[in-house]
Structure 1
Amino acid sequence: MRWDRGENTTGHMLDGMHMKIRTEADIYMALSTVRRLMKELGFSELHQQKVLVTVSELTRNVLDHAGANGVFGCEVLDGRGIRVRVTDRGPGIENVTRALEGKKSPHSHGLGLGLAGVKRLMDECTIETSTGGTSVVATKWNS
């Protein structure tokens, strides 16, 4: 498991890191890192749990739906927020609207509530998907 400092789209260094998601152990490393960052930022237990559920759901999707071929990243925003990003090289989400409504895809093996739950738990959530993969970015502010 290796954490690397990331760069944003303008090439500037972020106060964050990223790692490949290939195994269960990678999910646990991602959860541990996010938990540590949120404690340092003074997030409440409730907000910590919301973010940890989000990280768990999104990284689990990489293993279950994208052939264990994805990247998890997190960054601290202005010392008062945390943004998580999970990007994969899977087949994409067949119907994003349906997934965000919590309606299960006929090809899904799970309950189909993961992305809808992420959207409800986080303050901001964007999803980009195509047949070449999916990227989910979710932010939680320490309020």
Structure 2
Amino acid sequence: MTYQKVNISSEDDIYFALSTVRHFMKQLPFSESDQQKIFVSVSELTRNILDHANSKGLFCCELLDQGIRFVVTDEGPGILHVEDVVNGKKKSSSRGLGLGLSGVKRLMDEFQIETSTRGTKIVAIKWAGKKL
């Protein structure tokens, strides 16, 4: 099992997280399409830390047997109306790619979110070779 943590507090940290993910993905047979979905998801999740969580959060990436898992945590104010945000019914202002959490949910194979006034935790998994 391969595991890497990246503290997210600046743009450079986002690039480091993407570089880490690129290295991990080389170890599994992800299609080009799935690789792009993973990169977009990582970009959105880490960008949210800078935009909505006072630029303080943690991105954890873990290589699984046949997939890759991200755990993103922050100590921000939480997400109001989380179901609307995750289901794409409510947009928040962001400098990301515009897909937000609803986009990440669609792009990844598994997606879980826990949020409160003490912060947010998101777990997302992409399985190599999975056909939806």
TM-score scaled to structure 2, two decimals?
Answer: 0.90
Q: Name the structure 1 match of 2:49.
A: 62
Q: How far is the alpha carbon of 1:15 from its aligned partner? A: 2.5
Structure 2: gaps (5+ residues): none
CA distance in 1, matches of 2:107, 2:99: 12
- Conserved? CA contact 1:31–1:52, under 8 Å: yes
Q: Which moved more, 1:53-62 or 1:95-104?
A: 95-104
Give the SS at the match of 1:40: coil
Deviation track 1:72-102 (CA, whole Å, cap 9, x = no partner) reads 0000111x10001110000000011100121
For 2:38, give the aligned amino acid. V
Q: Name the structure 2 match of 1:9.
A: none
Q: Name the structure 1 match of 2:124.
A: 138
Work out which of the two has the higher radius of gyration on C-alpha atoms and give 1 or 2: 1
Structure 1: gaps (5+ residues): 1-13
CA distance in 2, matches of 1:34, 1:68: 20
Q: Name the structure 2 match of 1:109.
A: 93
Q: How far is the alpha carbon of 1:68 from its aligned partner? A: 0.6
Kindly report which structure 2 residues correspond to 1:1-143, keeping only aligned pairs within 5 A, or say none.
15-78=2-65, 80-105=66-91, 108-110=92-94, 113-143=99-129
Task: Count matched residues.
Answer: 127
- Conserved? CA contact 2:44–2:99, under 8 Å: no
- Conserved? CA contact 1:125–1:138, under 8 Å: yes
Where relative contact order (Cα < 8 A, 6+ residues apart) is larger, the structure is 2
CA RMSD of aligned residues (A): 1.5
Q: How far is the alpha carbon of 1:27 from its aligned partner? A: 0.1
TM-score scaled to structure 1, two decimals?
Answer: 0.84
Change in CA separation of 1:44 and 1:112 when aligned onto 2, cut-off 3 Å: closer
CA distance in 2, matches of 1:50, 1:85: 16
Change in CA separation of 1:115 and 1:57 when aligned onto 2, cut-off 3 Å: same
Q: How far is the alpha carbon of 1:109 from its aligned partner? A: 1.9
Deviation track 1:46-72 (CA, whole Å, cap 9, x = no partner) reads 111101100000000000000111000
